[in-house]
Structure formats: structure tokens, C-alpha cells
Structure 1
Amino acid sequence: MAITSNGYVLDESARRLGELVPVPDAERHDRDALWERLRRDGYLFLRGALDPGVVDGFRRYYHATVAPSGVWNGAEDRAEYRRLLFREVVPGPEYAAFCAQPAVRDWYAWFLGAETFLHKRKLIRHVRPGESGVGTATQAHYDLVYLREGTDRVLSSWIPLGDCPVRRGGLTYLERSHHWVLARERAGTLRLPARSITADLPGLADEHDARWLVADYRAGDVVVHSAFTVHAALDNVDDDYRLSTDIRYQRAGDPIDWRWQQHWRDDDGL
């Protein structure tokens, strides 16, 4: 089955599609090596960074909490689903504990070498099977365009909440895109309003002669990426839903985007 995003079919030739490279075990505890890799590649693919049992436990909590909306029985009440998501799950202690669990919080403190700050606005993505077409998957973008009021050294963690093979619609990264984004940012030619670059992932890869990188993610995996790295979501063509979260850490002493200090809602304008 073809790999698509927003209905666009990705070119699966070796020139346009590749695989995310996990951080080798030999580098996992070498901070300098990790920083070198992040600067070079724009991401750190950390296989098994979290306890899969903790990840699956949060997925079960989510599943049970939103169940009264009918989301699992084919008679979904979207208004009730949004109420449960934004009033129960997102501001709830279970989600807060998951995002600040020691495996995440302590890793960032070690990696950044300073007191850390977790942005309160944290997103949960529930992508149902068969959702495709422009506007259904996260389009190509880099995070800094949404975080202009703070430091550009904020780091994002994308965490699949359960196994997420390619066909289930996980994140894909445009290889080494942070280099040209950073160069254009510094030149002042990419200071755009807060919006995506494009839904046309194949066209963007052709424009920059680059590959989209994909992976079969497993529960416990984490991808950390730069605020300049271009990424997007694939369409979910599987028979199960894709659940994921993306959260952002930075050094507490760096400027903080005040707009991201409220719980996430899909109508908050960010």
C-alpha cells in the first residue's frame, strides 16, 4: 500500500524516502555525541527511551476515559469526545505525570545541563483509520513558526502512545531540513505567519532534493527534534487508531513563549 500524507502519494524511491536512524547504544549516554548528532541530523531517534508498560498504561487510560463519547463503537458524539479530551484528559494528573515522568524529565535535565521547563501546552493526536485528504494529517512545518515569542532552542519530543507502524500515520522528517531552514531564518527570508509550509510532501522533497524519513515506531520510542526541523504526519491507512503526544522542553533560563502556558485546545489559535 502506498505511503501518503494528506492524500499525496510519497515517492518511495531511494532518492526520496529513507528511514530514521536510531541513536546507537554507544552514544545514548554520551551527551556531546548526542548534541553533535542533533546538530547534524536535526533529530534524535531514541528507541525504547520509555518503559513500554508506562506508555501502554496511559493509552489504556485514554481509551477508557474517552469511551463514553462512543468513539469506539461507531456512534461517536464528537462534542462529548472534545469535552472528555479537553476537560478530563489534557488537564488531568495522568497526562501531567506521563509528560513529566523521570525518563523524560531527568533525560532533558541531563541533556540540557540546566534546570528545565516543560511547556504547559501539550498536544494529543488521535488519528482514526481512513482519515485522508488535504487537512486531515499534520502538514509539513517546523515548530519555531508557532513559538516565536520564546527561545529558538526549544526542543520537541514526539512520543507514539502505542506501536505506530508507518501505515498507522506517524511522523516523518525531511532529512537535514533544519540546515536550510536555519539559514533562511537567519537571512530573514522565512519569517512567515504561524502556518504550515505545504501539504504536498512529495513536492517539497523534490524542491530540496531530499528524502522523507519514516520509521515503524514502537511503544517506548521517543523522537526529539529541533525547532527548525521540517516534519509532517503520514495518513493512517491502518485498521487501528494512531495516538501520540508532542511536548516541548527547554532551559528554564531561556525566554519562554507565554502563549504556550495554557492547556491545549484545538481552537486556541496556536
Structure 2
Amino acid sequence: MLTSNGYVLDEERLGVLQVVPEPERSERDVLRARLMRDGYLYLTGLLDAAVVEQFREYYFRLTGAATDRASYRKVLFEEIVPGPEYAAFCAQPALKDWFEWFLGGEPFLHRRKIIRQTAPGENGIGTATQAHYDLVYLREGSDQVLSAWIPLGDCPVSRGGLAYLEGSHHRVLADEAAGRLKRPAASMTADLPALATEYDANWLVANYAAGDVVIHTAHTIHAALDNVSTEMRLSTDIRYQRADDAVDARWQHHWHDRDGL
């Protein structure tokens, strides 16, 4: 049984996130067409799993000494987020070079990069990332910005990985173009089952492994599942775009959970 913010997902509204086949991964035009069709690219093993695990160990080495919420926040927002280790991880050649190749130009990495941690058993409204699409938070720049969701360590479904609403970007694109979805910078809903019914679509899930990356468009609706495992769920989401496209200036500061975005 899968849940998100305590809501039980309907098994008849579940599907599997499709991995990009190996023969397609070197075909840029094919990948671009696939991204337009599906709204995401699930790239298994894009990163060196050892590099991912090293960063996970670094993160928990620093946060493990935090004895309360205030101490944890201090370490996270004053040491890890602005630190050179995180910057290097997010701009490692396996990521930056891939985006340069895929975008066909100089890539630009937004400084605001987010790390999300969910402990086993955490649930209830506001625990897991609620359903949203990224454009509502990035309206002052290009709508061609791409997000990379990276599990920091293995993240099976039970650990609370990301779920994508199948084909949702097509409706969002149409509604945005028609001016029907000028939403504020806020999540759509925590009720994933109701949203699946409204869109007549399935939530796509996967058992992610260290080294996997999912690239998604700014119009693709996604959300997180609850962590019902016995291990900590850790992930980061970062955003790349072409450097010569309009950039949302609000995203050029280090992330803080009270930054208003």
C-alpha cells in the first residue's frame, strides 16, 4: 500500500516510470522527443553510485551530530547547502556535461538547490512533497528550465521516492497557454488520488538506485510518496537551463526553507 501525506494511492491509478532504453541515450533528438512526449527522462546509472554514496555519507556525517531541529537547520543551511561539497556534486561532469550536450549550449545551474530528508514513519499533510509543477515557482525566467531529481542513495518505492502524474504536462502546457493556470507559487494538492481521478491519469513510480537521475520539465506534475521503510530517504533536486535563456533571479541565492519560494 502506497501513501503520500497519508492519502492511500489507488492501485488502479498506479503505473511504472519508464527507463530510457540504452540505445536511445546517445540520440539527442530521440531524447528530446521522448521528453516532449512523456514529460520526463528516467536515466538509470547516469551518475557514479560511489560518488552519490560518498555525498550521502558526508551529509549524514555532518547532520548526525545535530541533537535538535535548530542544530540540524544550522548545519543544513549554513554548512551543507552553501558548501563546496554540495556545489561540486551538483556540477559534477556527469551532470553538467549531460545538460550541455542535451541543451545544445552552455548550461546554467540555478544556485537554489534543494535537499530533502524524510525519516521512516513520517506522514501526514506537509510531510511528503505535495503535487505541483515547477513552473509556478519559476515564472520570472525561462519555462524551458529542466529539473533533475536525484535520489541520494537507493530509494525504493517504500522509502518515499518521487511519483509523476502520467502525461500531466500536456494538460498543464495547454492550460498555461490558455491562461487557465496562472497558479500562485503553491502546491496543487496533497490528495494524490483525487488528482489522478481529475486528470484521468496514473501516478508513475519506480525503485530508484544510487546513480539514477530523473529529468523533468517545468510543466510535469510530480509529488513524493511517504517513507514507510526503515531507512532515511534523502534526495536533491536541482535545475539547469541554457545560459542564454531568461533566468529567474529569485533562484540565484542558496536555498533556505524560509526563503519564500
TM-score of the alignment, normalized to the shorter chain, above 0.5: yes
Match of 2:2 in 1: 3
CA distance in 2, matches of 1:86, 1:197: 27
Deviation at 1:87, TM superposition (A): 0.5
Is 1:196 equivalent to 2:187 in the alignment? Answer: yes
Shift of 1:68: 1.5
Pick aligned residue for 2:116 from 111, 116, 125: 125
Distance 1:58 1:130 in 2: 24
List per-residue Cα deviations over 1:198-243 (Å, max 9, x = no partner): 1110001011110000000000000000000000000001111100
Distance, in Å, in 1 between the alignment partners of 2:167 and 2:35 is 10
* 1:206 maps to 2:203: no
Separation (CA, whole Å) in 1 of partners of 2:186 and 2:69: 25
Hey, what's the Cα distance between the residues in 2 that align with 1:126 and 1:135?
Answer: 13
Which residue in 1 is equivalent to 2:165? 174
Alignment of 1:58-97 (within 5 A): 58-70=55-67, 77-97=68-88
Deviations 1:8-28 (A, max 9, x none): 000012xx1000000000001
Distance in 2 (alpha carbons) for counterparts of 1:159 and 1:100: 13
Mapping for residues 19-58 of structure 1, pairs under 5 Å: 19-58=16-55
The SS at the match of 1:173 is: strand
Is residue 162 from structure 1 mapped to residue 153 from structure 2 by the alignment? yes
Equivalent position of 1:12 in the other structure? 11
**What is residue 212 of structure 2 aligned with on the other side?**
221
Where in structure 2 are the equivalents of 1:125-144 lying within 5 Å? 125-144=116-135
Q: Provide the alpha-carbon RMSD of the alignment.
A: 0.5
Indicate the residue corresponding to 1:73 in structure 2: none
Residue of structure 1 in register with 2:176 after alignment? 185
Q: How many residues align?
A: 261
Q: TM-score, normalised by structure 1?
A: 0.96
TM-score after normalising by structure 2: 0.99
Equivalent residue of 2:108, what SS?
Answer: strand
| Secondary structure, aligned partner of 2:112 | coil
The residue identity in structure 1 corresponding to 2:197 is: D
State the shift of 1:104 in Å: 0.0
Matched, 1:269 2:260: yes
Per-residue CA deviations over 1:85-132 (Å, capped at 9, x if unaligned) read: 001100000000000000000000000000110000000001111110
Gaps of 5+ in 1: 71-76
- The corresponding residue for 1:254 is 245
Task: Supply the distance in 1 between the matched residues of 2:199 and 2:84 (Cα, whole angstroms).
Answer: 43
Structure 1 stretch 99-108 or stretch 127-136: which is displaced more? Answer: 127-136
SS in 1 for 2:223: strand
2:105 aligned residue (101, 114, 118) = 114
Cα offset for 1:7? 0.5
Q: Which runs of 4+ in 1 moved over 6 A?
A: none
